[in-house]
């Protein structure tokens, strides 16, 4: 679906996950498989992506190439052989627990980001109101002093 191209003088390549075009500055390349990914397709927030140092990006590995935690089935047992009940710890975290905790963390991060954005928007609104008030005052001053540059508006 993605065609390699040069756009605005930039080399474009395709994301290994979604196959959409990507820009080199906004992508990660896996050090193991050489796949290239949008930082979002790699499961990373833009904030964390921008914080990464070049050494970190050079050693970065995609989800497929990252080492996985050892599961009971990886301990020499065949995949079809059931795990003996005595070896299962009911209090051990499950994959579902890990996913739930990850989603909860992401939700909390989004709530924090949302609050931060609301604060920034409020700050921008306040500054815009100040700028508009200053502009109105300046225009009124020019009009009163006869230095308004638009003759059509002068009576």
pLDDT, position 70:
56
DSSP letter, residue 76: S
pLDDT, position 84:
44
Neighbours of 118 (CB within 10 A): 10
Q: Is the pLDDT of residue 60 over 50?
A: yes
pLDDT, position 83:
42
Please tell me the distance from the alpha carbon of residue 11 to that of residue 9, in angstroms, as a whole number: 7
Q: Is the pLDDT of residue 106 over 80?
A: yes
Average pLDDT on 74-90 reads 44
| Residue (of 58, 54, 38) closest to 46 by Cα position | 38
Query: What percent of the chain is predicted at pLDDT more than 70?
Result: 70
DSSP letter, residue 2: -
Neighbours of 35 (CB within 10 A): 19
Q: Is the pLDDT of residue 54 over 80?
A: no
Q: Is the pLDDT of residue 71 over 60?
A: no
Q: Is the pLDDT of residue 72 over 60?
A: no
Assess contact for 38 and 20: CB atoms under 8 A: yes
| CB neighbour burial string for 49-84, b if at least 16 within 10 angstroms, e if fewer | beeeeeeeeeebebeeeeeeeeeeeeeeeeeeeeee
* Length of the chain, in residues: 155
User: What number does CATH give the domain 1-67?
Assistant: 3.30.40.10
Average pLDDT on 77-95 reads 47
Please tell me the distance from the alpha carbon of residue 37 to that of residue 104, in angstroms, as a whole number: 25
pLDDT, position 96:
77
Assess contact for 35 and 27: CB atoms under 8 A: no
Q: Is the pLDDT of residue 85 over 50?
A: no
Residue range 117-145, pLDDT digits in tens: 887 888 888 888 888 888 888 888 887 88
Q: What are the extents of the domains in the chain?
A: 1-67, 94-150
pLDDT, position 78:
42
Residue-averaged pLDDT of the chain: 76
Instruction: Sort 102 into a burial class: Cβ within 10 Å, 0-12 / 13-18 / 19+.
Output: exposed
């Amino acid at each position: 679906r993605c065609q390699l191209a040069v756009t605005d003088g930039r080399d474009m390549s395709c994301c290994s996950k979604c196959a959409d075009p990507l820009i080199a500055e906004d992508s990660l390349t896996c050090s193991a498989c050489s796949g290239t990914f949008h930082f979002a397709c790699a499961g990373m927030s833009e904030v964390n992506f921008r914080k990464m140092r070049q050494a970190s990006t050079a050693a970065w590995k995609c989800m497929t190439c990252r080492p996985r935690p050892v599961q009971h089935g990886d301990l020499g047992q065949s995949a079809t052989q059931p795990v003996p009940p005595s070896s299962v710890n009911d209090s051990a975290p499950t994959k579902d627990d890990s996913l739930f905790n990850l989603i909860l963390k992401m939700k909390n991060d989004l709530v924090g980001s949302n609050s931060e954005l609301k604060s920034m928007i409020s700050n921008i609104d306040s500054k815009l109101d100040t700028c508009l008030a200053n502009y109105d005052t300046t225009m009124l001053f020019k009009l009163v002093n006869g230095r308004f540059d638009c003759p059509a508006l002068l009576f």
